[in-house]
Structure 1
Amino acid sequence: MADSRLAPLELTAHEQTTLQGWASRRSTAQGPALRARIVLECARGGSNLAVAARLGIARGTVTKWRARFLAARLDGLSDEPRPGVPRTITDAQVEQVVVMTLENAPKGETHWSKRQLAARIGISPNSVARIWKAFGLQPWKTETFKISPDPLLIDKIRDVVGLYLAQPANAVVFSVDEKPQIQALQRSAPVLPMMPGVPERRSFDYVRHGTVDLFAALDIATGTVVGKVTALHTADDFRDFLADLDAIVPTGLDVHVICDNLSAHKAPAVQRWIVAHPRFTLHFTPTYSAWLNQVERWFAELQRRCLERGEFCSVEQLTTALQDWIAVWNDNARPFVWKKTADQIIDRICHYCSRISGPAH
């Protein structure tokens, strides 16, 4: 009599398709994906030991699920009921937790706490927390948003994103903005350095020694940054910064500048300069859409890695720190990769608008 451990499993077309679908999923180490792969390998032939070697698992695991499949086919690959305390929370209570979290609030308050909701429904606070986690509900958390009212929203998104995804030939594209009012802050007491088990500690109060503004132009192709520290960020300062870019960019290349809708960017002095330098083209992001300007991502790195924990005793020291950090960045510059197309962004905005424009709003 042939050894059943060596004979390939015979699968129907339905079983083959179902098992391949399960095998493509992500699951735990002993989840349905692994069980499906075991059966599919057994269908290829070979002993339990050979299948275990191909999958890198124990032979006992292959033996178990081969036998389960032979006994009950696909149904044998599901988990059997496990012993334990019977379930005490009903489906109606789970639904009540979800509905009340989404549609109601305690009298005089803005949202439920787990203890308040647990007392109202008659279950434990931990049960409410588990239900919230299962349904992805976080009533204590909030985020802000702003839908741009720009009448040229779609055109501007397509214009800016088009520059990110397909840079024009014989041209340089800069993402430009200014970071105003950067403060030269000195803590009122010396910073206590980090030690094992103890983070760096600093006093909450500080002495301010003045402020500076930083103009930055991010080359989206290379990731390098041209920076200029100024006392203000007026239209004349922005015009002078454009002149600095003009001196840096090789002759013969067009220059595309992506910027926001700050009044200084559209002032007559800037417009006259642009007319006198036809190789420069300004591209404006939609109003309230700074997230579309890549240099904002660079400013976030500057804030996190240089300014947030910096200690500056004077404006001069702050200026030197900014210039040094830009130099270090440029030594290891990498461009930020933009992946979303204009259509994907517009579809996302349209979907969100449809959600907030229903009868409930």
Structure 2
Amino acid sequence: MAYGQKTEYRLRMRAQVVLHAARSRSNARIAAETGLHVDTVRLWRGRFADEGIAGLADRRRSGRPPLFTTLQAAEVTALACRLPAETGVPLSCWTAPELAREAAKRGIATSVSASTVRRWLAQDVLKPWQYRSWIFITDPHFRTRAERVLELYARTFEGVALGGDEYVISADEKTSIQARCRCHPTLAPGQARAMRVNHTYGRGGCLAYLAAYDVHHAKVFGRTEPRTGIAPFMNLVAQVMSVEPYTSAKRVFWIVDNGSSHRGQKAAGRLSAAFPNAVMVHTPVHASWLNQVEIYFSVVQRKVVSPNDFTDLAQVGDRLRAFEDRYNATAQPFQWKFTTSDLDDLLARLDRHTTDHLQESSVSLAA
């Protein structure tokens, strides 16, 4: 122990104390030769005399007694699992300091720190200060419409596999892309410094960006328009359908949401009248997340639009068109993993949630 290469320093020093003591040296001399305090030498010399090698190990410590009981931690956690409004607290959501303050006010604990509350919540992975928005399904034909879209992503339509001359297009509009001209030039990032964008800007107008995304070939067709509407959308359709392989394709399925420029059977009839091989397929109401072009729009938002610093609308349009070429050069189809089985699981969960909510409402009304 005294000379081992892998022995801990504290154990090596204790072993040296024992070896010096075996040579009948005094505690004062051992302290001088090892650099330890004489009380420390006396401690380990006595421990070894009483217990042998085992006496050189650290004894188990009880540690500081806990300040809070498990019941107190559970009560604070239960409070965090309730909406503040339900408890009469005028807050929209809980934070760790607010929970600590409320715990003291309710007498759960005399005083508790926010860090302690945060540690309790972390044990159950609770973050009551975060929230996610959601919406109930209101479309009575939700499953039918969603299933049709998901089958097209899997290259089937009405139970029949799509042929090599059939294509699936996902289309939509990204509205109100502004040209914000910053009053001071944007500064490039530097060492230990993020890119800096001036807060004050001048408005240079806004435009709409319409895009059609070939789901299985990862090709984007885009155009900018002053505003959205039926005519701008049909211009996008003509832009795609006027080039090969879509012009001579057997069928081209256009997946769109329920926006005003392509809503309902009237829009489907208008599309098929202009292009007989085009078939319009609508996503369910409030289900634009089923439209893959929204993923492309999120890429555009992150990589092109934000932070917004354009001198005028012409620069916005040029940047979007240049990004299309850059994207199409290396794009791969999105790895879409949401299938009809996932759809059934989602609907089953929502059905259970709706049933439980209605039962709770009926019980509260009866009470």
What TM-score does the superposition give when structure 2 sets the normalisation length?
Answer: 0.71
Identity, % of aligned pairs?
A: 27
The reply to whether residue 124 of structure 1 matches residue 124 of structure 2 is no
Partner of 1:94: 73
Partner of 1:326: 324
Partner of 1:30: none
Equivalent pair of 2:216/2:333 in contact (CA under 8 Å): yes
> Which segments of 5 or more consecutive residues in structure 2 lack a partner in the other structure?
1-59, 157-161, 362-367
CA 295–252 in structure 1, closer or farther in 2 if over 3 Å, else same? closer
Partner of 2:10: none
Deviation at 1:221, TM superposition (A): 0.9
Partner of 2:226: 231
Q: Distance in 1 between matches of 2:205 and 2:350?
A: 42
Equivalent pair of 2:176/2:206 in contact (CA under 8 Å): yes
Residues 297-351 of structure 1 show CA distances to partners (whole Å, capped at 9, x for unaligned) of 1000001001112421111111111100101001111111111212212322431
CA 340–211 in structure 1, closer or farther in 2 if over 3 Å, else same? same
The reply to whether residue 143 of structure 1 matches residue 132 of structure 2 is yes
Deviation at 1:171, TM superposition (A): 0.6
Residues 104-137 of structure 1 show CA distances to partners (whole Å, capped at 9, x for unaligned) of 5353223333233324221332221011111121
Partner of 1:346: 344
The reply to whether residue 152 of structure 1 matches residue 141 of structure 2 is yes
Aligned partner of 1:190 among 177, 185, 189: 185
> Secondary structure of 2:207's partner?
strand
Q: Distance in 2 between matches of 1:104 and 1:190?
A: 45
Aligned partner of 2:298 among 287, 297, 300: 300
Deviation at 1:138, TM superposition (A): 1.2
CA 86–211 in structure 1, closer or farther in 2 if over 3 Å, else same? same
Residues 153-204 of structure 1 show CA distances to partners (whole Å, capped at 9, x for unaligned) of 0001101111112352231101100111211111111112211111111111
Q: Which moved more, 1:289-298 or 1:167-176?
A: 167-176
Q: Distance in 1 between matches of 2:249 and 2:127?
A: 55
Deviation at 1:288, TM superposition (A): 0.9
Q: Which moved more, 1:310-319 or 1:100-109?
A: 100-109
Deviation at 1:353, TM superposition (A): 4.5
CA 354–320 in structure 1, closer or farther in 2 if over 3 Å, else same? same
CA 205–195 in structure 1, closer or farther in 2 if over 3 Å, else same? same
Deviation at 1:207, TM superposition (A): 1.1
The residue identity in structure 1 corresponding to 2:96 is: K
> Secondary structure of 1:327's partner?
helix
CA 273–174 in structure 1, closer or farther in 2 if over 3 Å, else same? closer
In the alignment of these two chains, the number of paired residues is 281
> Secondary structure of 1:344's partner?
helix
Q: Distance in 1 between matches of 2:125 and 2:347?
A: 22
CA 285–91 in structure 1, closer or farther in 2 if over 3 Å, else same? same
CA 269–112 in structure 1, closer or farther in 2 if over 3 Å, else same? closer
Q: Distance in 2 between matches of 1:127 and 1:352?
A: 35
Partner of 1:67: none
Partner of 2:263: 266
Partner of 1:63: none
Equivalent pair of 2:171/2:210 in contact (CA under 8 Å): yes
The reply to whether residue 180 of structure 1 matches residue 175 of structure 2 is yes
> Secondary structure of 1:222's partner?
coil
CA 124–239 in structure 1, closer or farther in 2 if over 3 Å, else same? same
Aligned partner of 1:113 among 72, 78, 95: 95
Equivalent pair of 2:179/2:203 in contact (CA under 8 Å): yes
Deviation at 1:281, TM superposition (A): 0.7
> Secondary structure of 2:81's partner?
helix
Deviation at 1:269, TM superposition (A): 6.6
Residues 18-51 of structure 1 show CA distances to partners (whole Å, capped at 9, x for unaligned) of xxxxxxxxxxxxxxxxxxxxxxxxxxxxxxxxxx
Partner of 1:218: 213
Aligned partner of 2:201 among 202, 206, 225: 206
CA 93–276 in structure 1, closer or farther in 2 if over 3 Å, else same? same
What TM-score does the superposition give when structure 1 sets the normalisation length?
Answer: 0.72
The residue identity in structure 2 corresponding to 1:266 is: R
Deviation at 1:277, TM superposition (A): 2.5
Q: Distance in 2 between matches of 1:182 and 1:104?
A: 37
CA 205–85 in structure 1, closer or farther in 2 if over 3 Å, else same? same
> Secondary structure of 2:194's partner?
coil
CA 246–82 in structure 1, closer or farther in 2 if over 3 Å, else same? farther
Partner of 1:71: none
Q: Distance in 2 between matches of 1:254 and 1:190?
A: 49
Equivalent pair of 2:271/2:278 in contact (CA under 8 Å): no
